[in-house]
Amino acid sequence: MKDLATNQSYLLELLDEDQKNIKLFGLNEINRDEFLKRSLQITENFKLHLNKNGFPFKNKEPYEVYKAAFILSLHANPEFLIEIEKIFNNAEDGAVDSEHKAYFVDKLRLYEGKQQLYGTQFKRLPNGSIEFLPIEKPENINIRREEIGLSTLEEYKKLAEKN
């Protein structure tokens, strides 16, 4: 049982490290090269952990551990993101939140030079507002978002701008 708790806390520690790295970069306390170096190390540690222990699906692990792994996955490079998307797509029912798959779809589509389907990816403007990255057929965005269990794009924007 101790190993399970150790594995779970390790992912939470990696997420904490990831979030601190992002914050330091956002505050200009580290430069881009240092940010990328730290991000790469976090991703490598995460990969090693997943190779040894598997992905902590929400139907097998505490939700906070599953969510930590999900967030760490989103911050990984495109090649690793593709691996995680395959794991998600092959997971049993109830193992992954369906809306989390939307984040992978959008991020990978943007890496491929395509427009996102669900509007999960945006950039923050200097005034604190957000601007969504290109969205395919934006007139149908809320229908697609509802089908996968996401709030409307307008609600998502309000929430993102608060955080």
Residue pLDDT, tens place only, 2-56: 455 567 899 999 999 999 999 999 899 999 999 999 999 999 999 999 999 999 9
Kindly write down the DSSP assignment for every residue of the chain, as one continuous string: -HHHHHHHHHHHHHHHHHHHHHHHHHTTSS-HHHHHHHHHHHHHHHHHHHHHH----TTTS-HHHHHHHHHHHHTS-HHHHHHHHHHHHTSPTTSS-HHHHHHHHHHHHHHTTPPBSS---EEE-TTS-EEEPPBSSGGGHHHHHHHHT---HHHHHHHHHH-
Which amino acid, one-letter code, is at 15?
L
pLDDT confidence band for 98 (50 / 70 / 90):
confident
Confidence of residue 58 (pLDDT cuts 50, 70, 90): very high
Q: What is the pLDDT of residue 163?
A: 78
The percent of residues in the chain predicted with pLDDT above 90, rounded, is 79
pLDDT at 5: 56
Under the banding of pLDDT at 50, 70 and 90, the label for residue 139 is very high
pLDDT of residue 51: 93
Model pLDDT for residues 111-137, shown as the tens digit of each residue: 999 999 999 999 989 888 999 999 999
Specify the higher pLDDT residue, 114 or 79.
114
Task: List the chain domain ranges.
Answer: 1-96, 99-163
The pLDDT of residue 3:
58
Considering the entire predicted model, what is its pTM? 0.84
Report pLDDT for 2. Answer: 41
Mean pLDDT of the chain: 92
